[in-house]
C-alpha cells in the first residue's frame, strides 16, 4: 500500500481527471424588449362590509350646523379709506340719493321736531352742525 509518505507520488485527486470546459456565458441582453409582457390578474383583498345596524339601534344623523348670520354692515365702523372706496363705487344716481338722505337725517337731528318739556329748543349737536357746514361749503365750492 502506497500512502504517499515514503517518497512516492501523491495520489491524484478525484476531480483532476475531468476535462476542463469554458465557463458558460449568458446570452447578450437586448436593449429593448421585443414583446410586451402579458397582463397579470391581481387578486384584490377586500374586507367584507360590516352588516348594517337595525333601524332602532342606528343613531339619527346629526343636524346640520347652521351658518352664523352675516355681519350687519356698520358704516360707522368703516375707516375713511373704506368709506371713500364704497362711495366711489356708487353710481351717480345712488350717490345723489345717499347725499339727499344724509342731508335730511342731519337736518332732522339738528332741528328736533319736539322741544323739551320746558318749552326751550334743544341745542344742536356741534359735531353734526360742523359736518353740515363743511358739506354745504364743499357742495357750494366755497372754502369753509
Report d(CA 75, CA 87) in Å as an integer: 11
Cell matching residue 88 = 366711489
Total-model pTM: 0.42
Q: Give per-10-residue mean pLDDT for the chain (144 aa).
A: 60 69 69 68 76 70 84 85 90 92 87 62 81 86 64
Confidence (pLDDT) at 92: 93
Report d(CA 65, CA 43) in Å as an integer: 42
Q: At what angle do helices 126-140 and 92-110 cross, to 10 degrees?
A: 140
Cell matching residue 117 = 318739556
Of the candidates 108, 106, 114, which has an alpha carbon nearest to the alpha carbon of residue 130? 106
Confidence (pLDDT) at 144: 47
Domain residue spans of the chain: 76-113+121-144
Amino acid at each position: 500500500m502506497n500512502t504517499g509518505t515514503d517518497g512516492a507520488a501523491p495520489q491524484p485527486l478525484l476531480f483532476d481527471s475531468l476535462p476542463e470546459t469554458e465557463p458558460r456565458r449568458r446570452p447578450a441582453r437586448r436593449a429593448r424588449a421585443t414583446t410586451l409582457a402579458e397582463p397579470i390578474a391581481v387578486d384584490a383583498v377586500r374586507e367584507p362590509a360590516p352588516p348594517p345596524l337595525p333601524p332602532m339601534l342606528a343613531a339619527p344623523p346629526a343636524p346640520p350646523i347652521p351658518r352664523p348670520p352675516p355681519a350687519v354692515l356698520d358704516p360707522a365702523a368703516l375707516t375713511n379709506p373704506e368709506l371713500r372706496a364704497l362711495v366711489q363705487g356708487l353710481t351717480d344716481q345712488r350717490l345723489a340719493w345717499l347725499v339727499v338722505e344724509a342731508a335730511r337725517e342731519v337736518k332732522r337731528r339738528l332741528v328736533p321736531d319736539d322741544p323739551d318739556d320746558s318749552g326751550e329748543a334743544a341745542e344742536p349737536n356741534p359735531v353734526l352742525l360742523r359736518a353740515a357746514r363743511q358739506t354745504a361749503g364743499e357742495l357750494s365750492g366755497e372754502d369753509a
